[in-house]
Amino acid sequence: MQPASLLPEKAFRSHAPGYWEKKNVSPEDWNSHMWQMRNRVTTLAGLEEHLVLSDEERAGVLLSGNKLAMAITPHYFNLIHPTDPDCPIRRQVVPRIEETWDDPEEMSDPCGEDSHMPVPGLVHRYPDRVLFLVFDRCASYCRYCTRSRVVSGVGDQKLDTEFEAAFKYLEQHTEIRDVLLSGGDALLLSDRRLESILSRLRSIPHIEFVRIGSRVPIFLPQRITPALCEMLAKYHPLWMSVHVNHPRELTIEVKEALERLSNHGIPLGNQSVLLRGVNDDAQVMKSLVHKLLMSRVRPYYLYQCDLIEGSSHLRTSVAKGIEIIEALRGHTTGYAVPQYVIDAPGGGGKVPVNPDYLLMKDEQRTLIRNYEGKVYEYPEPESAKKRELPAMVNRFSMVWEPSAKW
């Protein structure tokens, strides 16, 4: 592993005003999230004003309205390399013709959310928690979006959340203790509208805490205003999951926005998606998780890319994900190592995937290896030796044949 000083894009930088330098944008405008939203790049002409596009990108942009709209905030656009189609930022937000390829293994709803929706807009897939889809727009659109069917306004479906029915369902189901607000992106709602949702949730006694899943602090850090943070702080315990895939995304402005949230008592976790040509590299991932910790964000999940339609060019192998986790665990602080998960296709939920550290288990000992590949024995206590072995242990015993010294 490289020394931290040699890791790629480890420094925090500001890229403003970048491509907008010649347009004489005032600092007041640049730092306004409303200006950023009004000036998003949404057309082929807007891209070609600043970028040299490949044929695959140009064709993808022309067809993007058939599946998922294109929109890129000026802040995020400044991170894009002007001539390199393999730029890891470009690959995330600039459409490509590969999005139109048919793959029989891909799905419009790979996580099976629609089949777990008792009320329009409310997904109840796990016993004690729900996903509440409160808005159908994002500041920018990720080309691998799991909910491309309902966000941006051009997918096959529309997100018609029935808020009153959702609140009634939450009130009636006392087993629900955790609500995750997502969409789209909940932080694009006005402070007043977002507060009305949070206050209503807080009025339900059995809901213990609320989470917000958002890419806004990365796409649109200007939205993380002191007023927003002060409002959010009224509804603790409130947690937030952000979505950063590449270290270049962690700019000075993003770091300041994340710190502002932390300073208002909001714990932050990051959910990355493993993407080919973006972060499927151990050194890139190591830079990312280190920068996240320096921004007071705990790396939480590394997702295997969902089987969303049009994502084959961005997906990489499960073996690559395991390789990356192996390169992190033991080689950097444990706080920096996310849990690698696959959201089981069709609605099976998140399944953790780890390197094989447990080599063998029988009623006498457990055989394990560490991050260096060294093997160790852990003896079972006498009380455990007398109990019947569970099915999992029997499976390991069948697969592994103990050596003579065992």
Active site residue 193: no
145 is in an annotated binding site: yes
Query: Tens digit of pLDDT for each residue in 338-378?
Result: 999 999 999 999 999 999 999 999 889 999 999 999 999 99
Partners of 379 in beta bridges: 365
Contact partners, residue 189, CB within 8 Å, separation at least 6: 134, 135, 197
Catalytic residue among 147, 211, 286, 361: 147
Strand 238-242 vs strand 268-274: parallel, antiparallel, or unpaired?
parallel
For residue 387, the model assigns a pLDDT of: 54
CA atoms within 13 A on the CB side of 263: 14
Tell me the DSSP string of 166-223. HHHHHHH-TT--EEEEEES-GGGS-HHHHHHHHHHHHTSTT--EEEEEESHHHH-GGG
Whole-number pLDDT of residue 396: 46
| Catalytic option among 109, 136, 185, 306 | 306
User: Is residue 147 scored above 80 in pLDDT?
Assistant: yes
| Residue 111 among known ligand-binding residues | no
Average pLDDT for 73-79: 98
Does the annotation count 306 as an active-site position? yes
For the chain, domain boundaries: 1-355, 358-399
pLDDT at 63: 87
Provide the pLDDT confidence category of residue 406 given band limits of 50, 70 and 90.
very low
Give the per-residue pLDDT at 64: 82
* Residue 111 bears catalytic tag: no
Tell me whether residue 142 is one of the annotated catalytic residues: yes
Mean pLDDT of 281-296: 98
Q: Report phi then psi at 233, rounded to 5.
A: -65, -15
Distance, in Å, from the CA atom of 11 to the CA atom of 7, rounded to the nearest integer, reads: 9
What is the pLDDT confidence band of residue 386, given thresholds at 50, 70 and 90? low
Dist. CA 138–CA 123, nearest whole Å: 19
pLDDT surpassing 90 at residue 67 = no
- Residue 299 CB contacts under 8 Å (≥ 6 apart), including other chains: 269, 270, 272, 288, 289, 292, 293, 335, 336, 337, 338
Mean pLDDT of 378-393: 64
Q: What is the pLDDT of residue 400?
A: 45
Q: Which CATH number applies to 1-355?
A: 3.20.20.70
Q: What is the pLDDT of residue 156?
A: 73
**Nearest in space to 393 (alpha carbons), one of 374, 367, 370:** 367
pLDDT at 154: 86
229 is in an annotated binding site: no
| CA–CA dist 308, 310 (Å, integer) | 6
Strands lying side by side in the sheet with 209-214? 122-126, 129-135, 178-183, 209-214, 238-242, 268-274, 298-304, 339-344, 349-352
pLDDT of residue 121 exceeding 60, the answer is yes
Number of helices (H) and strands (E), helices first, in the chain? Answer: 15, 12
The SS3 of residue 124 is strand
When pLDDT is averaged across residues 24-52 and rounded to a whole number, the result is: 97
How confident is the prediction for the chain on average, in pLDDT?
Answer: 93
pLDDT in tens, 200-235: 999 999 999 999 999 999 999 999 999 999 999 999
Mean pLDDT in residue range 140-163: 93
**Whether 87 is catalytic:** no
* Residue 138 is among the residues annotated as catalytic for this protein: yes
| 305 has catalytic annotation | no
Task: Render pLDDT for 12-31 as a digit per residue (tens, 0 to 9).
Answer: 999 999 999 999 999 999 99
Active-site residue identified among 350, 362, 365, 369: 350
Give yes or no: 350 in active site.
yes
